[in-house]
C-alpha cells in the first residue's frame, strides 16, 4: 500500500525541551491507523508536529509525496489534512452554519452532505455552536474537519468525556468514513473500539515508535508493556 503520510525518525522539541525521539508512522490510502501509548508518551505532540504546529523538528515528514517538515500549518492543512482537535474547539459564538462554512473547501463534503451524516445539524444551522451539547459540538467539530475535504483525517481524543451513547455514535461515524475510503489517524483512550476500527496500530513509548503492526499481532505482553492494560 502506498503511504499517504510517511513519517520517518521524527524528532521534535518544545523550545529546548525534546519531546519526540524518533517517531516512525505511516498511513496508507484508505487506511485507519491507531496511534497509541500511555499518557505523556507523545501522541498529541506527534500529531501537532505533523501538522506543523510544533517546531523545531527533524526527520522525514511527507504527505502525498510533499515534504511537509518545514511548511507552515496552513500550507500543510491545504494539502489535505483535516484535524478534529482535542477538546472540540468550535467557534461558540458562530452559528452551526458559520462554523461549517468557515472551514469549507471545494469537494464532495458540502453543507448538505455533512448534514446528511449528522442530521441534527440541519435543524440547528442557525443556532450558535455554544447552544449544542458536548456530544453535538464534537460532531460539529468532525463536520468542520470534513468540510475541508481532507484526504486524511486526524482525530485526537474524539470520544473523550462524552456519554457512552454519543461515543458509540462517533465510532459508527468513524466506521462509515472508513468504509467510504477516507484515511484516518486516530488517538483515543477507548482501546477496544480503537482496535476494532483500525487496520494497524503504532505504539509510542517515551517519544519514539516502540511497536507497529496489525492488532491481530498485538500480544497480551505487548499490550501490557506499552499500554499498561
Ligand atoms: P496524553 O495521552 O496524556 O494526551 P500524549 O501521549 O499525547 O499524552 P503528549 O501530550 O504529546 O503525550 O506529551 C509528550 C511529552 O511532551 C510529555 O513528556 C509532555 O510532558 C511533554 N509536553 C507536552 N506538551 C508540552 C508543552 N507545551 N511544553 C513542554 N513539554 C510538553
Neighbours of 219 (CB within 10 A): 9
Distances in Å between the Cα of 224 and the Cα atoms of 3, 11, 111, 139, 213 are 29, 26, 43, 32, 16
DSSP lists the bridge partners of residue 6 as 26, 62
User: Model confidence over 114-160: pLDDT tens digits?
Assistant: 999 999 999 999 999 999 999 999 999 999 999 999 999 999 999 99
Ligand 1 atom index nearest CA of 37: 6
Q: 179 alpha carbon to ligand 1 midpoint, in Å? A: 32
User: Model confidence over 49-81: pLDDT tens digits?
Assistant: 999 999 999 999 999 999 999 899 999 999 999
Torsion 113-114-119-120 (CA) sign: negative
Report whether residue 43 contacts ligand 1, using a CB cutoff of 6 Å: yes
pLDDT value at position 86? 83
Mean pLDDT value across residues 81-109: 93
Residue 143 CA to residue 153 CA, distance in Å, equals 11
Mean pLDDT value across residues 24-30: 97
Residue 136 CA to residue 127 CA, distance in Å, equals 12
Q: 1 alpha carbon to ligand 1 midpoint, in Å? A: 31
Q: 39 alpha carbon to ligand 1 midpoint, in Å? A: 8
Q: 46 alpha carbon to ligand 1 midpoint, in Å? A: 9
Judge whether residue 1 has pLDDT over 70.
no
pLDDT value at position 87? 80
Mean pLDDT value across residues 87-108: 93
Report whether residue 48 contacts ligand 1, using a CB cutoff of 6 Å: no
Distances in Å between the Cα of 113 and the Cα atoms of 30, 121, 132 are 20, 11, 20
Q: 47 alpha carbon to ligand 1 midpoint, in Å? A: 11
Mean pLDDT value across residues 80-109: 93
User: Model confidence over 152-211: pLDDT tens digits?
Assistant: 999 999 999 999 999 999 999 999 999 999 999 999 999 999 999 999 999 999 999 999
Outline where 4-110 has alpha helix (H).
43-50, 73-78, 96-103
Residue 89 CA to residue 87 CA, distance in Å, equals 6
Query: CB-based burial of residue 1 (10 Å sphere; 0-12 exposed, 13-18 middle, 19+ buried)?
Result: exposed
Residue 126 CA to residue 8 CA, distance in Å, equals 44
Residue 73 CA to residue 117 CA, distance in Å, equals 27
Collect all residues with Cβ–Cβ distance below 8 Å to 222 and sequence separation of at least 6: 203, 211
Residue having the nearest C-alpha atom to atom 9 of ligand 1: 42
Ligand 1 atom index nearest CA of 41: 6
pLDDT value at position 53? 95
Report whether residue 40 contacts ligand 1, using a CB cutoff of 6 Å: yes
DSSP lists the bridge partners of residue 35 as 202
Judge whether residue 88 has pLDDT over 80.
no
Residue 86 CA to residue 157 CA, distance in Å, equals 6
Amino acid at each position: 500500500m502506498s503511504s499517504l503520510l510517511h513519517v520517518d525518525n521524527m524528532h521534535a522539541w518544545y523550545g529546548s525541551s525534546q519531546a519526540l525521539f524518533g517517531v516512525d508512522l505511516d498511513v496508507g490510502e484508505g487506511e485507519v491507523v491507531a496511534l497509541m501509548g500511555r499518557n505523556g508518551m507523545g501522541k498529541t505532540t506527534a500529531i501537532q508536529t505533523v501538522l506543523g504546529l510544533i517546531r523545531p523538528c527533524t526527520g522525514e515528514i511527507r504527505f502525498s509525496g510533499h515534504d511537509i517538515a518545514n511548511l507552515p500549518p496552513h500550507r500543510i492543512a491545504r494539502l489535505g489534512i483535516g484535524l478534529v482537535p482535542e477538546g472540540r474547539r468550535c467557534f461558540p459564538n458562530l452559528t452551526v452554519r458559520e462554523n461549517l462554512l468557515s472551514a469549507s473547501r471545494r469537494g464532495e463534503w458540502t453543507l448538505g452532505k455533512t448534514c446528511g451524516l449528522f442530521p441534527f445539524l440541519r435543524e440547528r444551522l442557525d443556532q450558535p455552536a455554544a447552544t449544542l451539547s458536548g456530544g453535538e459540538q464534537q460532531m460539529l467539530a468532525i463536520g468542520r474537519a470534513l468540510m475541508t475535504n481532507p484526504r486524511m483525517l486526524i482525530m485526537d481524543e474524539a470520544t473523550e468525556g462524552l456519554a457512552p451513547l454519543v461515543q458509540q455514535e462517533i465510532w459508527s461515524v468513524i466506521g462509515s468514513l472508513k468504509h467510504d475510503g477516507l484515511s484516518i489517524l486516530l488517538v483515543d483512550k477507548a482501546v477496544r473500539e480503537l482496535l476494532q476500527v483500525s487496520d494497524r496500530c503504532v505504539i509510542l513509548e517515551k517519544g519514539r515508535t516502540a511497536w507497529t503492526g496489525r492488532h491481530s499481532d498485538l500480544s497480551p505482553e505487548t499490550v501490557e508493556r506499552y499500554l499498561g492494560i
